[in-house]
Amino acid sequence: MVNKNHPFKYKRVIISFIAVLLTFFGILVIAIVSHENEMLKQAEKDTVDELELMGTFARQSIIRHDYATVEQFLRQWGEEHPEIFELKATAPNNFVIAHYRRPAFPAHPFHFQRQIQYAGTDLINLYMIKDLSSVRKSLYMFIFQMTIGSVLLTVILGITLWYSLKKLALIPMEKEILIREEAEKKFRTILESAPDAMVFVNRQGKILLINKQAEKLFGYARKELYGKEIEILIPERFRGVHGKEREGYFLGPKARPMGAGLDLYGLKKDGVEFPADISLSPIETDEGVFVLADIRDITEKKRSEEKIMRGYHYQKTISSILQISLETIPFEEQMGQILDNIFAIPFLPLQAKGSIYLVEDEPDVLVLRAQRGLSQTILESCSNIHFGKCLCGLSASRKEIVVASSDAAAHETSYSGMLPHANICVPILSGEKVLGIMNLLVKEDYKRKTEDEQLLASVANTIAGIIERRRAERDKQKLQKQLVEVEKLSALGRMTANVAHEIRNPLTALGGYARRLNKNIPQGAKEKEYAEIIISEVGMLEKILKNVLTFSREIKINPELHDVNEILDESLKIYEIISKERSIRIDKNYSELPQILVDKDHVTEALSNILSNAMDSIPGGGILTISTGMETIKEKTYVTVKITDTGEGIPEDKLDRIFEPFFSTKVMGHGTGLGLPISKKIMEDHGGFIKVKSEIKKGSTFSLYFPYQHDETNTDNDIMQGSENTLKSA
C-alpha cells in the first residue's frame, strides 16, 4: 500500500541516487586510502635503506673502536637532513654509543629501528624518529584534487541521472502512484462504508487495515490492532488450529462466501466470545497475496435459530409425551419413556441418567417411580425421599428448580466411584400442589440457562397433567367401584338386617332350650356332648348376627375424653393368656399423648378386631409391637396407633380386599370377615382412617389415625363429618 505520509514524493528515485553517490564516494575513499598506504610504504623503504647505509659506516668505526667518529657521523647526518629529529646508536647491552636529537618535536613523527650485525652477532641498534609532514602535505594535495574532481563528476552524473530518471521513470511512476492512490482511496472508502467488520491481513497473518465496524465489533482502536496477528481476534482454544489453517489457505487462496457451514467464533477485547460468519477474499498485489476478511456477528441469528430449534424440539417432546400418555401401558413404563424423550432433546447437556419421583400415599414423601441409568446404590438409598432432604426434597419443599453439582452441600447422597456431575431437579406442580420431582443429571460444568429451565418446567407441567388425569381416572374408577360396592352393600345390608331380625328370635329360643337341656342331662352322657355342641354353634351364630347388625346399622358415637394408651392396655388384657400360650411377645412403645374425644367401647372393639387378627397371624410365636405417637398430615394432626406383627403377612392381591365385608384370609370357620370392615367403619365414624402395610413372611402393620383437635367443637364436627361419610358409603 502507498504510504501517503512520507515527506518525499520520489522516495525510490532519491534512494537510488543516494545509493549511487555513496558507492562513488566509497570508491573515492578506497582510492585515497590506497594512495596513502603506497606513500607510507615508500617512505618506510627509503628510511630503512638510509638506516642500512648509516649502519654500514657505523659498523666499520665500531670494529676499529672509533666511537667518536660514529657520534660525529650521526650528528652530521642528522643536521644535514632536517626531516630527522632524533638518531640513536645503542650497543646490545643498551650502552648509548651516539645520540643526536633536535630541540623541537615533529608534528607527524614516525619511528624506525634497525639492527646492525657483524659475523652473525648483534653489533649495534639504530633508532630514528623522522617527520613525514611532507608526505602528509602531498597526501592532502592528492585528496583535495580527488575531491574537487569527484564533486564535479558527481554533479555532472547527478544532473545526467536526474534528467534520465525523470524522462524514463519519474513521469510513469507519478502516473502509477496517482492510479494507486486513487485505487487505495476507493478501497478505503469501500472498506469504511461496508456494513460488516472488515480486516485486511497479509500472508504472515498481520493486520494491516480495519474499518470502523471492526473497531465497533471487537472493541479495539485501530492502532491497537495494526501489526498484530489476526489470532488476537480468535478465542484462545482455536488459535493453534487457526494458524495452520491460515498457512494452508495461502497455499491455495480462493474466495469463501458467507454461510460456509463452519462454526466460527470471534473474541472481543473484553474477552466476550461471539459466533461469527466470515467470508474470505484473496487480493493479489505486486507485494504479494493479501486477504480481506468480512466478519459478521451472527449472535442474533444463532439465537433465532436456536429458539426455532428449541420450539421444534419442545413441541416434538411434548407431542411424544402426550402420545405416550395415551398408550395402554403401565404407568411406570410411561414415565420411563418420558425420560427417554427428555434425554433425546439435543441442546440439553444431559447424561442420559435421571429419575421421576411422585408423591403418593404420604404427602411429604417422594417415591421413585421411573429411572434411567442410576446405580444400584442410588436406587437403594433414594427410593424414598422426604421433603427438604437432599436436592430432590429441597426442590419439592421450595417448589422451584434446583441446580447443584454432585459435591454440593445439599447433595446428601454420595457413594464411592460416583462420577462428577450436576443435577437439575424440576418440581412437577399442579397449581401449588407438589405432585413429584424430575431429577436429571447433566455435565459437571453446566451453567444455568433460563431457556433450559423454561423448557423443563413446561415438560414437568405436561407430566403433571398426565399424573392428574391418571389420578382422576383412577379416582373415577375407584368411585365407580365404590358406588357399585355401596349399592351391593346397601342391598346386602338391608337383606342381612332383615334376615338377622327374622332368625334372631328362633336362634335365641334354640339357644335357651339347648342350655336347659344341657343342665338336665347327666355328666358323661352322649347327649350332653351334643347339647354343648349346639350351645357353641348357637353362640357363634349369635356373634355373627351381632356383627352383621353392627355393620349394617348406624353406629351412635358417644365421644368422651380418653387416653388412647389406657384403652390399648385394657384391650391387651384379654390377650395376655393367648399370647403366653402362643409364645407371642408384646412390645409396647407408647408416647406421651394428649386425651382425645372418642367412644371408648367402639374404639376398644376396633382395636380388639385388629389385635385378634394379629394374634391369629403368628400362631407359631413371634413379636407383636404396639406403638403410639402423633403425626401431621396435610396440616392436620392425628394421634396414631400402630400394631405390627411378625406373622405371615397378607398377599398383595388380597391387601385391597381386607376391608370388604365377609372377606377373610383365615381358614373357613375361623372368621366372619366383618372384623376389619367394622374397625374401618368405627375409625371413619370418628373422623379417622386406617392404613395397612404388609410383606409376605415378614408381617403386617395396621396404623390407626385418630383426629386430634384443640377444642371440643371442632372434634365433634369432625366426628359428625366422619359419620356422614360412613352413612354415604353404607
pLDDT in tens, 370-422: 888 887 877 877 888 888 888 888 888 888 888 877 555 555 555 454 556 68
630: three-class secondary structure by DSSP = strand
pLDDT band at 639; cut points 50, 70, 90? very high
> Cα–Cα distance between 654 and 663 in angstroms, integer?
9
pLDDT band at 713; cut points 50, 70, 90? very low
Helix or strand holding residue 92 (H, E):
none
Which single residue is written with the C-alpha cell 487505495? 184
> Mean pLDDT, to the nearest integer, of 235-245?
86
Q: What's the Rg (C-alpha) of the chain?
A: 60
pLDDT band at 714; cut points 50, 70, 90? very low
* Dihedral angle, C-alpha 334, 338, 343, 344, nearest 10 °: 100
Work out the angle at residue 600's Cα, subtended by the Cα atoms of residues 589 and 604, and round it to the nearest 5 degrees.
60
CA 284 to mean position of chain CA atoms? 46
> Cα–Cα distance between 639 and 97 in angstroms, integer?
145
What are the grid coordinates assigned to 108, written together? Answer: 607527524
> Cα–Cα distance between 517 and 519 in angstroms, integer?
5
C-beta neighbour count of 231 within 10 angstroms: 16
Please count the CA atoms within 13 angstroms of the CA of 552 that sit on its side-chain side.
22
Mean residue pLDDT across the chain: 79
> Mean pLDDT, to the nearest integer, of 278-286?
85
CB-CB contact of 422 with 443 (8 Å) = yes
pLDDT in tens, 89-145: 888 888 888 888 888 777 778 788 888 887 778 888 888 888 777 777 777 787 777
CATH class of 554-729: alpha beta
**pLDDT at residue 594, as a whole number:** 93
- Which long-range contacts link 569-575 to residues 24+ away (Cβ below 8 Å)? 570/604, 571/604, 571/607, 571/608, 571/611, 572/611, 572/626, 574/608, 575/611, 575/612, 575/615
pLDDT in tens, 54-90: 888 878 787 777 778 878 888 888 788 888 888 888 8
**pLDDT at residue 75, as a whole number:** 84
CA 178 to mean position of chain CA atoms? 59
pLDDT in tens, 307-348: 888 788 778 888 888 888 888 888 888 888 888 888 888 877
| Residue count of the chain | 730
pLDDT band at 500; cut points 50, 70, 90? low
> Cα–Cα distance between 708 and 276 in angstroms, integer?
68
Q: How far apart are the first and last CA of the chain?
A: 102
pLDDT in tens, 347-371: 777 878 888 999 887 878 898 888 8
- Which long-range contacts link 523-529 to residues 24+ away (Cβ below 8 Å)? none
Query: Domain segments of the chain: what residues?
Result: 1-193, 194-297, 347-553, 554-729
* Dihedral angle, C-alpha 706, 707, 712, 713, nearest 10 °: -130
pLDDT in tens, 134-185: 777 777 787 777 778 777 877 787 777 767 666 666 666 677 777 777 777 7
Instruction: Report in angstroms the alpha-carbon separations of 383 from 172, 360, 408, 703.
Output: 91, 13, 20, 22
380: three-class secondary structure by DSSP = helix
Instruction: Report in angstroms the alpha-carbon separations of 559 from 470, 603, 608, 685, 709.
Output: 39, 10, 19, 11, 13
603: three-class secondary structure by DSSP = helix
> Mean pLDDT, to the nearest integer, of 210-237?
90
CA 581 to mean position of chain CA atoms? 66
> What does pTM read for this prediction?
0.45
Q: Note the CATH number of domain 347-553.
A: 3.30.450.40
CB-CB contact of 415 with 403 (8 Å) = no
User: Hey, do 194-297 and 347-553 end up sharing a CATH topology, with the first three levels equal?
Assistant: yes
CB-CB contact of 62 with 97 (8 Å) = yes
431: three-class secondary structure by DSSP = coil
Signed CA dihedral, 224, 225, 226, 229: sign only: positive
pLDDT in tens, 466-490: 888 888 888 788 778 767 766 766 6
pLDDT band at 641; cut points 50, 70, 90? very high
Name 403's Cβ contacts closer than 8 Å, sequence gap at least 6.
Answer: 422, 423, 424, 425, 446, 448
* DSSP-derived secondary structure for 686-713: TT-EEEEEEETTTEEEEEEEEE--SSHH
Work out the angle at residue 585's Cα, subtended by the Cα atoms of residues 583 and 586, and round it to the nearest 5 degrees.
140
Name 432's Cβ contacts closer than 8 Å, sequence gap at least 6.
Answer: 399
Query: Domain 194-297, what architecture?
Result: 2-Layer Sandwich (3.30)
- Please report the beta strands in 156-272, taking only residues with DSSP state E, as ranges in sequence order: 197-201, 207-210, 264-267
**pLDDT at residue 413, as a whole number:** 58
**Is residue 492 pLDDT above 80, yes or no?**
no
DSSP 167: I
Name 430's Cβ contacts closer than 8 Å, sequence gap at least 6.
Answer: 464, 467, 468
